[in-house]
């Protein structure tokens, strides 16, 4: 046989026992060609395009799942940022389009649809402002539409006026939805990539073609099992085995993405090699770090361990595919990763430590429940802190915070399903109000003098 | 005609008739067995079979349905995966 039994079993074990899956296939769709000043025609163009391609995505993804026995967990669509396509329309157009997207996603059996957002890193147009103001109503009246805002970039700096707005808006969204769950569908970014397949931040960027099929692979369980098998090797050796594993899962992801794109007759976009955890036993990024020898994620050494982990994943992934893109960092969402959540419960993990972790390895402060009475300016300040790490270091960072109404630090909250469960994290009670309310634009950072 | 190869992996307790039942199901769908390998790994019976589906009208989904019954009756785990994924992962 051309393959040894061990090789065959390595692949089989990944899918059977270590939760290797395709976390998402996300079809990016350009909606600029749907624009019409008559809102009814506009909506019908959007609905027809999204449902047609959405249905094809679901059906073709099902066939590929069967062919390779690799589960595809989410089938999603990302669209052109909605603020761009409603510029010439009347005031309530963003909401009307959101409802159309929601209906189309439902009818096509798509899990989520992303792109309700705006790129406002330098300033806001009237349409951007209208869309941002509509977020609380949109997120409390639709089921499957996800929202994003890009409010900072390395070349433009950070739009602090937008960040002030977001603090208030997050509290408003939280107050309108059970346990503040609407906030789980809204991510704020600096340096947001245009081809990210992961929600809530996916959108189909203006530099993209008409369609683009992007794929997010996931293998925390697979990586954890190789770390477990290599208990005695030093960190150089550990990086080597993680690299090889990342290579293999990226190759599988690229194969599946390319074949799906070809079957749908759309261009293949990127493979996002982010390690994305779930609450399944063993499928945890925190679990990998703990297997490396850290007692609980958040303990000293966690930042170094995660830095090693993602560096090895990137090296393996980059060798495996010329199309690595999207976020491609380690996700450390608190509620969606049982190990992270245990770190919070045990007291090992704080928001401040999470922020440090995001400086070297990950994509941001994700799925963090905070007390419902956290002042809006403090929420804005946490966002500004996190995004400035991205702006200054030329990387993507994002924030998804949930100020849970009526809950205080240490309380338990369950968001259900993949969104998981968590303990509400403590937030510093010292004020940042006067700093945040200054507003304006934080200038773009100098890109030389790197220390 | 180019081959259309799939790997069938069976994991479980060794017992009479595993290969017979699987071969029978494949024969029914005009699928040719190209190679076969078996071993005890970590205390489990593991068999991998390479089969060519080029002459068959069945899809991998159809074969899986066929195997579901065998899995249940014999308490086995049977995976069917197209060869391409092994090529992608293990051959550069």
Please give the domain boundaries of chain A with CATH numbers for all domains: 28-190 (3.20.70.20), 215-442 (3.20.70.20)
Query: Token pair for residue A123?
Result: 């300033």
Q: Residue A123: what pLDDT?
A: 97
Q: Residue A1: what pLDDT?
A: 63
CA contacts within 13 A on the Cβ side of A48: 9
Tell me the nearest-neighbour CA distance from B25 into chain A, angstroms. Answer: 18
Whole-angstrom distance, CA of residue A64 vs CA of residue A264: 11
- CB-CB under 8 Å, B48 with A9: yes
CA dihedral B27→B28→B31→B34, nearest 10 degrees, is: -20
Sign of CA dihedral B51, B54, B56, B60: positive
Whole-angstrom distance, CA of residue A242 vs CA of residue A224: 9
> How many percent of chain A have pLDDT more than 70?
100
User: Residue A298 has what DSSP assignment?
Assistant: T
Q: Looking at the partner chain, which of B37, B79, B82 has a beta carbon nearest the beta carbon of A12? A: B79
Q: Which residues of B touch A11 (CB under 8 A)?
A: 81, 85-86, 89-90
Q: Residue B73: what pLDDT?
A: 94
- CB-CB under 8 Å, B88 with A254: yes
User: What is the DSSP pairing of strand B76-82 with strand B5-12?
Assistant: antiparallel
Q: What CATH number corresponds to the domain at position B29? A: 3.30.70.260
Q: Residue B23: what pLDDT?
A: 94
Q: Residue A449: what pLDDT?
A: 85
Question: What is the value of ipTM here, to two decimals?
Answer: 0.93
Is residue A143 a contact partner of residue A106, using CB atoms and an 8 Å limit? yes
- Name the pTM for this structure: 0.95
Sign of CA dihedral A425, A170, A357, A220: positive
Q: Is B45 on the interface with A (CB under 8 A)?
A: no
Strand order in the sheet with B32-41: B32-41, B44-52, B5-12, B76-82
- CB-CB under 8 Å, A15 with B79: yes
Residue A81 clears pLDDT 70, i.e. is over it: yes
Q: Which residues have CB under 8 Å from B60's CB, separation 6+?
A: A66, A67, B6, B53, B80, B82
* Domain count of the fold of chain B: 1
Q: Residue A361: what pLDDT?
A: 80
Which range, of A56-60, A330-334, A389-393, averages the lowest pLDDT? A330-334
Q: Looking at the partner chain, which of A11, A16, A259 has a beta carbon nearest the beta carbon of B89? A: A11
Domain that holds residue B84: 5-90
When pLDDT is averaged across residues A40-60 and rounded to a whole number, the result is 98
What kind and span of H or E run contains A310?
helix A302-320
Residue A129 clears pLDDT 70, i.e. is over it: yes
pLDDT (tens digit per residue) in B35-78 = 999 888 877 889 999 999 999 999 999 999 999 999 999 999 99
- CB-CB under 8 Å, A68 with B37: no
pLDDT (tens digit per residue) in A203-243 = 999 999 999 999 999 889 999 999 999 999 999 999 999 99
Q: Is B48 on the interface with A (CB under 8 A)?
A: yes
Residue A169's pLDDT band, with cuts at 50, 70 and 90, is very high
- CB-CB under 8 Å, B88 with A255: yes
Whole-angstrom distance, CA of residue A294 vs CA of residue A288: 9
pLDDT (tens digit per residue) in A265-297 = 999 999 999 998 888 878 899 999 999 999 999
């Amino acid at each position: 046989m051309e393959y040894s039994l061990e090789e065959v079993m390595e692949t089989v074990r990944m899918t059977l026992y270590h939760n290797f899956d395709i976390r998402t296939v996300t079809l990016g769709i350009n909606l600029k060609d749907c624009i019409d000043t008559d809102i009814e025609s506009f909506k019908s163009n959007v609905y027809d395009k999204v449902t047609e391609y959405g249905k094809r995505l679901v059906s073709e993804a099902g066939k590929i799942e069967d062919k390779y026995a690799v589960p595809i967990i989410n089938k999603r669509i990302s669209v052109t940022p909605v603020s761009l396509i409603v510029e010439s329309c009347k005031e309530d157009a963003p909401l009307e389009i959101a409802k159309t997207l929601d209906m189309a996603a439902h009818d096509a059996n798509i899990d989520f649809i992303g792109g309700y957002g705006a790129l406002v890193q330098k300033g806001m147009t009237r349409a951007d402002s209208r869309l941002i103001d509509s977020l609380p109503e949109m997120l409390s009246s639709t089921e499957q539409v996800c929202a994003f805002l890009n409010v900072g970039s390395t070349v433009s700096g950070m739009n602090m006026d937008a960040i002030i707005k977001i603090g208030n808006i997050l509290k408003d969204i939280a107050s309108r939805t059970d346990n503040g769950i609407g906030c789980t569908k809204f991510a704020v970014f600096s340096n947001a990539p245009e081809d990210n397949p992961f929600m809530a931040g996916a959108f189909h960027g203006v530099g993209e073609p008409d369609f683009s099929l992007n794929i997010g692979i996931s293998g925390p369980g697979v990586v954890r099992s190789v770390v477990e098998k290599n208990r005695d090797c030093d960190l150089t050796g550990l990086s080597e085995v993680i690299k090889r594993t990342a290579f293999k899962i990226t190759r599988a992801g690229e194969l599946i993405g390319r074949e799906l794109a070809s079957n749908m007759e759309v261009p293949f976009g990127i493979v996002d090699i982010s390690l994305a955890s779930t609450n399944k036993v063993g499928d945890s990024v925190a679990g990998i770090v703990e297997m490396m020898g850290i007692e609980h994620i958040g303990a000293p050494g966690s930042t170094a361990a995660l830095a090693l982990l993602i560096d090895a994943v990137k090296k393996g992934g980059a060798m495996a595919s010329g199309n690595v893109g999207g976020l491609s960092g380690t996700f450390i969402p608190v509620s969606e990763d049982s190990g992270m959540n245990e770190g919070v419960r045990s007291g090992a993990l704080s928001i401040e430590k999470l922020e440090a972790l995001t400086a070297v390895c990950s994509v941001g402060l994700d799925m963090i429940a905070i007390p419902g009475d956290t002042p809006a300016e403090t929420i804005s300040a946490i966002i500004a802190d996190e995004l400035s790490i991205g702006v200054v270091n030329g990387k993507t960072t994002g924030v998804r915070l949930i100020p849970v109404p009526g809950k205080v630090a240490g309380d338990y909250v369950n968001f259900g399903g993949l969104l998981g469960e968590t303990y509400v994290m403590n937030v510093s009670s010292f004020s940042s109000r006067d700093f945040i309310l200054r507003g304006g634009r934080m200038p773009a950072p100098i890109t030389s003098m790197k220390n | 005609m180019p081959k259309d190869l799939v790997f069938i992996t069976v994991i479980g307790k060794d017992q009479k008739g595993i290969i017979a039942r699987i071969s029978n199901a494949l024969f029914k769908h005009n699928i040719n067995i190209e190679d076969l390998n078996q071993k005890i790994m970590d205390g489990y019976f593991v068999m991998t079979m390479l089969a060519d589906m080029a002459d068959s009208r069945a899809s991998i989904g159809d074969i899986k349905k066929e195997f579901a019954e065998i899995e249940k009756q014999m308490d086995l785990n049977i995976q069917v995966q197209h060869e391409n994924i092994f090529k992608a992962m293990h051959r550069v």
